[in-house]
Chains A and B, each alone.
Chain A
Amino acid sequence: MNPILEVVGLYKSFGPVEALRGADLQLRAGEVLAVVGDNGAGKSTLIKHISGVYRPDAGQILLAGVPLDLASPREARERGIETVYQDLALADDLSIGANIFLGREPMRRLFGILPYIDERAIRRETADLLKKIRSEIPPEAPTVARLSGGQRQAVAIARAIYWQAKVVLMDEPTAALAVMERERVIAHARDLAAHGVGVIYIGHNLTEILKVADRIAVMFRGRTVHVTTTGATDQETLIKYMTGYSETNKAA
């Protein structure tokens, strides 16, 4: 099966710092691919290239076999790459529906002239979506301000599903969440994959990673050093690759 997203030999430096030194990745539709690595291994830099924040110095990103040259996060989104941000980028004073449709509101026209936002369609679609991802968010919540971290995550995920994202990037989605909430986010990630979306899941809690991922890619010092299916590995092996132990051994 052809990968939906492919990263080949990505290189990026910020001044003297080489953040990526040949990162590779292959993501298939309908799978959760976890990317793990120590702090500074280049996980976030890699994600920011895929989401259109950074442009690589060298290397290529291919979406369904077509080379991508993303100028902005907006362009990435138009191509079907959605990012669920760590800091849960929602507008607190807007409703759940308004957040899901933010920037892409369905419009109608009064008497064929005066345009207005189709709130009824937004409400209907939002209720459907929340049902689809089996979220227990009270649909009557007036704004997202009082939602918990996990519920906010669900709103972001609903947004990705509605807009038929091909690839969803989840950058440390559980970092700020309580234990129960983490379980929900893991379920959401699995849901996305079940909808045929390719999910890249960044994390460093290995117990969680082993639970959510179909495959795991390990990064070390800006490079992809190891890729494995989840069933064929364990925490110890992953830690060896994450700390560079196996690489130094190979060199020796």
Chain B
Amino acid sequence: MDRSGVKKRLLGLDREYGILLVIVAFIFTVPLWSRPIPGSVLHMDIVNIMCLAGTYACAVLGLNLLVGYAGQISLGHAAFFGIGAYTTAILCTRLTWYPTWLGVLSGMVLAGVIGWLVGVPVLRLKGHYLAMATLGLGEIAFILFTQLKWLTGGTVGVLNIPPLSVFGFAFDSDLKFYYLVWAVVALILLFSVNLIRSRVGRGLRALHSSEIAADAMGVPTAHYKIRVFVLSTVLAGLGGAFFAHFQRYINPETFILSLSILFVTMVVVGGMGDIWGGLVGVIFLAFLPPVIQALPEWIPGIPEGLTNFGNYQLILYGILLIVFMMFLPRGIAHGLERGAAFTNRRYRLLADHVKARKYE
């Protein structure tokens, strides 16, 4: 083994693990400083927003692997999110003895099975066909959630979903759920980092840059694409199942096209194919609406009528989305990295220069 590799690992200079550690530490401290202060300017319930964001993060991190590494977009991940949510919700409310953690697992499995059934035929196609097919699938799932009344409760949905509990410990408050969901998100991140470094991950990266080249080099591209797609649906199912146990109530109107679009937007705004990008996108878009909503309190003088709820917020949301794509087309995470790298660049250029000299 090459010496520098060993040294790098020994010194713990593994960039990804380092970032992960920082994130975990940060997540752990959030509830400590973010207690909402009544009457203060920033009066939003950060832990509560983060709980919901955590459930989205599960789906988005999976989708990010699909978009970023398999180069495929899905406009139907709300369906898999919904399948996860409905599976656990129905099992745990109909069969009162059914353990909630098993409900979550069942939701993941069912989402994955349906993902596999859809993925195998569709992923043979190239281009944006998966996006179109998953869009159709999402709409069909929504119709089924609404129409299969005997199973899903129709438009009313499923009420009285129990909180998630493991070995008798119930995650029945925002704070408890916060630590649970973000611990799971951290595990998914760790898994993603390892996946990308594995042989499969290298294959995926080759796949993303050129499918034909990857094919030629013996990477089983079709196989990999399906695996990543199924993985992303399983993670969406996990997010959905968490969502059901957190909200304690679900109805079909949650699992609509705009949720699928929100997931894709989170991936792209954060940074496609950058593991941290998905996370950044989730947090950014989860906090954008409450921050926009709080704006008139900070900046007086916004014209009357425009401040009516929903109007300026959505106009501004739309415009910000465009502006961010324009200036950070490769995502916020990439922008952050570039900002951080800027300071290092001169040094690195010099180092390369010196190295180049040495071998001349």
Same complex for A and B? Answer: no
